[in-house]
A and B are shown apart, each in its own frame.
Chain A
Amino acid sequence: MANSDRARKLLIRTALATSATIATLIGAQNLAMLDASQFQSSPTPEADGSLTSQPDAVFALPMLEAGGAGTAFASATVPTTLVVQATPDITIMQAVPNIVILRHAGNTAPRITTTSTSNPVVQQPAAPQIVPPAPVVVQQPVTQKSKSSR
Chain B
Amino acid sequence: MTLYAMTFRAMGCQIHAQLEAGVEGHAVLSQLPAKVEAMEARLSRFRPDSELMQLNKRAGEWVKVSTTLLEVIQAAKHAAQLTNGLFNPLVLPAMLANGYDRSFEQIALPLTTAHVPAGDWQGIELRRSAREVRIPPSSALDLGGIAKGWAAEKLADELAQTGACLVNMGGDMVARGAPQGWQGWQVEVSDPFNDAPLVSLWLKDTAIATSGSDFRQWATQAGKTYHHIVNPQTGCPAATNVLMASVVHPHAPTAEAYAKAVILQGAEAGLSWLSQQWHAEGLVVQDDGKVLATANFVLSHNERLSS
State the A residues within 8 Å of B (CB): 69, 82, 84-87, 90, 92, 94-118, 120, 122-123, 125-126, 129, 132-150
Contacts and interface: CB of A to CB of B under 8 A. Distances in A.
A60 B171 CA distance: 32
A145 B197 CA distance: 8
Contacts of A104: 289-290
List of 3 A-B pairs having minimum Cβ-Cβ separation, nearest first: A108-B289, A120-B108, A103-B291
Given A101-B290, A141-B166, A149-B13, A115 B219 contact: yes
Contact of B193 (A85, A112, A122): A112
Contact of B219 (A102, A116, A133): A116
A104 B7 CA distance: 35
Contacts of B193: 108-112
Given A109-B194, A136-B4, A138-B18, A116 B218 contact: yes
B189 to A, nearest CB: 5
B103 interface: yes
A107 B290 CA distance: 7
B217 A113 contact: yes
Interface in B283-300: 283, 286, 288-298
A40 B217 CA distance: 65
Nearest to A143: B186
Contacts of A113: 214, 217
B172 interface: yes
Contacts of B214: 111, 113, 148
B66 interface: no
B77 interface: no
B36 to A, nearest CB: 11
Q: Interface majority SS on A: helix, strand, loop or mixed?
A: loop
Contacts of A106: 288-290
A113 B105 CA distance: 14
Contacts of A144: 16, 166, 168, 173, 185-188
Given A115-B219, A116-B104, A141-B185, A147 B298 contact: no
Contacts of B16: 142, 144
B108 A122 contact: yes
B60 interface: no
Contacts of B188: 143-146
A99 B272 CA distance: 7
B291 A149 contact: no
B292 A135 contact: no
B93 to A, nearest CB: 21
B129 interface: no
Interface string B161-190: 000001011111100000100100111111
B29 interface: yes
